[in-house]
């Protein structure tokens, strides 16, 4: 593939590639290793449940940022990196089979794949390698004398921050953003989804689902109890364009139903 016409696929992590919150998985492992208290674990569990139910589309980026930074504040960086031996296998178990199929599909098409998430970079990068992806971009926390300070050490990988980071990656690697794909569950990622040529809403919150239907973006719902995915789009052209990808994904992970095919069956 000509470098000047390369594309890439960017995946949000929580509730997109995986079910639930990766940060809560980290907190659970930290608690079992007696690094955080039961009170802190309970607090993070409450936040994770709220995030799962409501998503992160309310524009409260400061609250999301503080949650990520507070999860590591005061910890030794060496301890967090050591936790990955427990964390990564746990998170891998929660990667949706349909999401793995999409990564495979993009790789077969010659596209690089990245995770881009507000979760700590120390977790996101090794997870991306474990999935055979080209990179993982997460929130970088400041470290002083080997201990996390609770402050940022770079742009917050959330909202507009994700779009800025993707723009930099595209410029550095020669990706054509018109040929790039973006996958997310949350309206907080609209800057990222609007930046790429192919936006896909995955198990979207209400706000993102509304925007996706208005703009004709594919809406993908990964079923919880069976290895299937349901795709829908308001644009007939979008439904036709999904045909090739639907076939490739369906071949690996069960049947995929689009609104168009569902309508043909009723006739």
CATH code of 29's domain: 3.40.50.1000
User: Do 90 and 30 touch, CB atoms closer than 8 A?
Assistant: no
Positions of the chain with pLDDT lower than 50, given as ranges: 1-3, 41-42, 45, 49-50, 52-59, 225-229, 233-267
Give strand ranges (E) for 40-121.
Answer: 112-120
Cα–Cα–Cα angle for 103, 106, 110, nearest 5°? 135
Dihedral, CA of residue 117, residue 15, residue 243 and residue 8, to nearest 10: 10
Number of compact structural domains in the chain: 1
pLDDT for position 76: 83
Candidates 227, 76, 54; CA nearest to 148 is: 76
Which structural domain range is residue 60 located in? Answer: 3-266
Alpha carbons 95 and 18: distance in angstroms, whole number: 4
| Options 2, 3, 14, 185, the catalytic residue | 14
| pTM for the model | 0.75
Please indicate whether residue 12 is annotated as part of the active site.
yes
User: What would the pLDDT profile of 179-195 be if each residue is shown by its tens digit?
Assistant: 999 999 999 999 999 99
Alpha carbons 39 and 67: distance in angstroms, whole number: 15
Q: Which string of DSSP letters, residue by residue, matches 62-74?
A: HHHHHHHHHHHTT
| Options 3, 12, 66, 145, the catalytic residue | 12
User: Do 71 and 120 touch, CB atoms closer than 8 A?
Assistant: yes
pLDDT for position 40: 57
Backbone angles phi, psi at 145, to 5 degrees: 55, 40
User: What would the pLDDT profile of 66-110 be if each residue is shown by its tens digit?
Assistant: 766 777 788 888 887 888 788 888 889 889 999 999 999 999 999
SS3 58: coil
Alpha carbons 254 and 146: distance in angstroms, whole number: 47
Alpha carbons 183 and 17: distance in angstroms, whole number: 9
User: Do 114 and 9 touch, CB atoms closer than 8 A?
Assistant: yes
Backbone angles phi, psi at 120, to 5 degrees: -55, 140
Please indicate whether residue 112 is annotated as part of the active site.
no
């Amino acid at each position: 593939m000509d470098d000047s016409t390369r594309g890439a696929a960017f995946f949000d992590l929580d509730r997109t590639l995986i079910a639930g919150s990766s940060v809560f998985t980290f907190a659970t492992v930290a608690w079992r290793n007696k690094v955080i208290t039961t009170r802190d674990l309970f607090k993070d569990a409450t936040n994770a449940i709220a995030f799962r139910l409501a998503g992160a589309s309310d524009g409260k980026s400061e609250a999301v940022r503080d949650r990520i930074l507070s999860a590591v504040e005061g910890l030794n960086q060496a301890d967090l990196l050591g936790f990955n031996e427990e964390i990564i296998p746990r998170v891998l178990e929660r990667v949706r089979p349909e999401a793995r199929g999409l990564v495979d599909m993009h790789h077969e098409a010659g596209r690089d794949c990245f995770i881009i998430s507000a979760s700590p970079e120390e977790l996101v990068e090794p997870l991306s390698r474990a999935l055979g992806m080209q990179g993982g971009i997460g929130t970088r926390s400041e470290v002083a004398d080997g201990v996390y300070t609770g402050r940022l050490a770079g742009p917050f990988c959330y909202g507009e921050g994700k779009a800025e980071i993707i723009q930099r990656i595209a410029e550095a690697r020669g990706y054509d953003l018109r040929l790039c794909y973006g996958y997310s569950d949350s309206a907080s990622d609209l800057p990222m989804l609007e930046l790429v040529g192919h936006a896909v809403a995955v198990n979207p919150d209400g706000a993102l689902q509304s925007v996706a239907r208005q703009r004709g973006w594919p809406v993908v719902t990964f079923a919880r109890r069976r290895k299937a995915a349901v795709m829908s789009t308001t644009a007939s052209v979008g439904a036709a364009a999904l045909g090739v990808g639907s076939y490739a994904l369906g071949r690996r992970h069960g049947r995929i139903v689009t609104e168009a095919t569902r309508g043909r069956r009723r006739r």
